Each structure stands twice: as structure tokens, then as C-alpha cells.
A and B are shown apart, each in its own frame.
Chain A
Amino acid sequence: MEGVLPINQVVSEVEQQEYIINMGPQHPSTHGVLRFLLSLKGEVVQYVQPHCGYIHRGIEKMTEKITYPQIIHLTDRLDYLSAHMNNEAVSLCVENALQIEVPERVKYIRTIMAELSRLASHQLWWAAFGMDLGALTTFFYGLRDREYILDIFEQTTGSRLTQSYNCPGGLMNDIHPDFQKKVKEFIKNFRKVLPEYNQLLTGNVIFHERTKGIGLLSKEDAISFGVTGPSGRGSGFSCDLRKSHPYSAYDKVDFKEILYTEGDTFARYQVRMDEMLESMNIIEQLIDNIPEGDYALKMKAIIKLPEGEYYQRVESARGEFGVHIISDGNKNPYRVKFRSPNFSNLSAIDSMARGFKIADLVAISGSLDLVIPDLDK
């Protein structure tokens, strides 16, 4: 066998060469159509270059042709797992511009709905994150429990995913008579199930090996890159807008801002696990105290905002969602900008993944909990 190199030499040569590899756009662990251009030496990631825009729909351009109540339906299609929070951001922005105050009942229901969708979003993230790392059972557990919340949404809003429930001036319709009973049932059930989640994954040695010390993001980098939400709080960046700039009924409830300082994948995991508990605490404080009253204000048929600029920040399940409306006094906005949390979170992936293995990149992007339609707009 002349001319055949010994295996050790082949391996060492392969590890010296630089490979450029496309991960995606159709790849199960990018959770949508996102392409990472990777440079690899052996298994080690040299750099990551995200390529996005595969589902760019031009939502910001579309908003310039439609009215304010119609924008609500487009914001559902940004981050579809935090549709309630996105609706709420636009509604609050329009309400602040018109200087109207919605009834207390609306504030309470908005907060409960936002926390329910945060729970549903974190459940789906937990399900998919486990599956990214090879634990298939988590997917069934997570989706099974998320179904309860989607049923509650369907009963009240008529839709499971793109609810369009909040609108300028209040809510589309009142809550279903069974709403409170079902939410309490769900929480009672989920409090029993959450320890199972922890038994299955949180204490698992293999899971620790795959996540601890992987994908480090310092606090300075998190602030500079604008990594917000649970991903930012895993690096000790105190960015919870529910605490720092309370809106709706968040100033009436008592809850903790979850902060971890390690900045690795496991810290981001733990923030979300603890946030699920906090979300349940918030809902429990509000669910029995929903005040009586109207579910919406009577708004004019055509809403025109006074000329000027308006900005609203809310905490979505993935971080800070912002709406910037520039109005010229017409029934259509002059310019609308959506600040999507995923877009800023994605920008940090290069500095997080460098020097780690390609399999760790899957864990890192999973821990950022990317939703692609949100960053592509």
C-alpha cells in the first residue's frame, strides 16, 4: 500500500485545514430559515457569519400603507411566540400618543395574557432546546404542556398562535367565562410538572457537560451587543423592562428579576427555567383580582396620531421589543420601526461561538432562542 498516508498524519492535516461550511438555511437546529456561514478548523469554529433575510417580508414598508389598528395583525407575524407582547407594544404606543388611559381591567388581562405567552414560549424553547442537544423526550413534554395555554388562547381570542388580541384602546373582546378557571387549572398542573422538567434535564450530567462553560458572553459584551431578555440576564445584564419601566399592571405585582452572572449556555437555561416560575407567580397575583369594567374604550373609527415621534419598549419573551412610530398626522404612519430582540441577540453569536466546537454552536444558538421571522422582519 504505497502512497497511502498513515491515519495520524491524515487527521492532523485535516485539523490544520480551514473549511468553509454552510449551516442552513434548511437546518433543524436553526429553527427556521437562517444560514450560518462557518469557518472550521477540524471541529473548532473560527468564525460565524449569519446570513438572514430568507423570510424578509418588508413589514416596516407595509405599515406605511395601512392604518394603526391594522398594524396589530402584522406584529403577530414578527415574533409569533410573543404575539401578545408585540400587539401590546403597538397598542401602548398608540395609546400614549393619543394620551388615553385604558381601563384597569384591560391592563390586568393584558398582563396575564403576556405572561401566559411567555410561559408558552419558554415551554416551546425548553422542548426544542432539549431536542437540539439530543434529548427527544423534552419535545413531547414541552409541547404537551404548551397545549393547555394554546387552548386557553383559542377559547378567548379565537386563535392559537397569531392572536391579535390587544388593539389600540383595549382588547378585541372580553375574556371567556371559563378563562380564570382554566388558567388556575393550568397553573396547578404546571407547578407539578415543572419539577419533572428539572429532573429530566436540569440535573443531567450529560446536559451539564454540553452547556456549562459553553458560549461565554460577558456582561460588557451583552450590553454592547444589546443582548436582552433571558439571554442578556444570563450574563448579569439587568434589562428586565417589566421592572425598570413598568407598563400595564406590572407595577401592581411583586416579582423578582432573574439574574445569573455566569454568562454561559447553562446560565441562560436557568434564567428561563426560573422565569417560568416567576410568570406563574405574576399570573396568580392577578387572576383573582381582575377588576370589573369595560374591555375596551370606544375609539374613533379612524385613528389619527398627532404629528411627532413615539417610542414604546416592552419585554417580550426574547428580550426588549420596541416600536418607534413617526407620525405626520395622517391615518397611516410615516415610518414605523420595530426593534426586534432576536436581531441584536443574533449579532453576538460570532463572539460567543468562536473557539468552541461546531456541536456547541447548536447549543449556543438554541440558548439564544432565535425566532427567525422576528429578525428578518
Chain B
Amino acid sequence: MNNEELKQKISAIESDLVFEDKQYLTITVEPEKFKGLALKLRNDKDLSFDYMFNITGVDYGDLLGVCYFITSTQFSHIIELKVKAKSRENAEIETVCDIWKTAEFQEREIYDLLGIKFINHPDLRRIFLEEDWVGYPLRKDYVDEVNIVER
């Protein structure tokens, strides 16, 4: 399916989505609708997005967000799903690790470095840093006077 067909097909599944034509078709979705959409994208037999090849957590300044890159091994079309959490202090997004198992580790990494909590994640612990580490290093307002030298 090309981007235009994907756009039509996906907007029929779920309403209120924002589509952008970038390198891949980018779909911005509200956090409360995200899990439902992800499940439908995975299980629809014409779309069958079964392989998630990357998850990026981003600090957008005012909000924290996550970009999910998913593709279909059968049809090899690619889309990027973008979710922005509602608040910065208590950023929460529902987990997708029951849909794509690779998300379990990737979400732990994002929790570790950006502090986004994934609701219903089975084992949400820090993965790289120690349990008692203060702060989330990939946030733009993170301060570490010892390890980060400002020039």
C-alpha cells in the first residue's frame, strides 16, 4: 500500500488522527486512543503491522513524546506513530509490549533516560542506570555538574 491508501485505510479505523507526509507516513495520535489504534494496526489483515523496528523517546521541550516506527513483514509498508504525553511531570503512555514484545526493553530504556511511565508495563525498572539515579539524563533540563561540561 502506498501512503495515500494507508491514510484512507487508517483514517477509516480511527478518527481524529493527524497525518503528515514525511520520510514515512507520520500519524500523531492522542495517548488515550493510542493503545486501541496500535492493536488495530497490528491485527488488521490488510495492514498487519507486525514488526516494530524502533522506538524513540523525545523531549519536545514542553512535553515528552514517543515515536514508534512500525512496518509489516508481509507488505513492507512503514509508518511512524507519534504520541505526546499529556503532562511533563507525570508523563504516562500505555505500554505496547503485549503487542510487540520488543517494546518491553525499549520502553524500559525510555523510562530510564526520559522518565516516561508506561502504564501496565510488566517490569518497569531502570535498565542502564542504577536504581537510585536522580533525574532523567535525556531530558533537556537535566543538570549534571560533574559529568556534563558546558563550554
Interface residues of A (CB under 8 A from B): 52-53, 56, 58, 60-61, 96, 221, 223-226, 228, 237-239, 244, 308-311, 313, 320, 322, 324, 326, 335, 337, 339, 343-344, 346-348, 376-377
Contacts and interface: CB of A to CB of B under 8 A. Distances in A.
Contacts of B28: none
9 contacts: A53-B126, A56-B129, A223-B50, A237-B73, A309-B80, A311-B80, A335-B138, A343-B106, A344-B105
Nearest to A320: B53
Contacts of B43: none
B54 interface: yes
B54 A311 contact: yes
B58 A326 contact: yes
The A interface, classified by DSSP as helix, strand, loop or mixed, is mixed
Given A223-B73, A309-B22, A52 B54 contact: no
A223 B51 CA distance: 6
Given A56-B128, A310-B23, A324-B67, A347 B104 contact: yes
B54 A324 contact: yes
Contacts of A320: 53
B3 interface: no
Interface of B: 22-24, 26, 50-54, 56-59, 67, 69, 73, 76, 80, 100-102, 104-106, 109, 113, 126-129, 137-138, 147-148
A309 B100 contact: no
B102 A347 contact: yes
Contacts of B126: 53
Given A52-B127, A60-B138, A224-B101, A238 B73 contact: yes
Contacts of B148: 61
Nearest to B72: A223
B102 A224 contact: yes
Most buried by B among A56, A228, A308: A56
Nearest to A54: B128
A289 to B, nearest CB: 29
Contact of B137 (A58, A225, A239, A310): A58
A60 B137 CA distance: 10
Contacts of A344: 102, 105-106
A223 B101 CA distance: 9
A337 B113 CA distance: 12
Contacts of B138: 60-61, 335
A244 B74 CA distance: 12
A48 to B, nearest CB: 13
A98 B22 CA distance: 14
A225 B102 contact: yes
Contact of B53 (A60, A313, A376): A313
Contacts of B23: 96, 309-311
A47 B18 CA distance: 42
A310 B67 CA distance: 12
B58 A335 contact: yes
Contact of A335 (B22, B53, B56, B80): B56
A224 B53 CA distance: 10
A322 B80 CA distance: 14
A346 B105 CA distance: 9
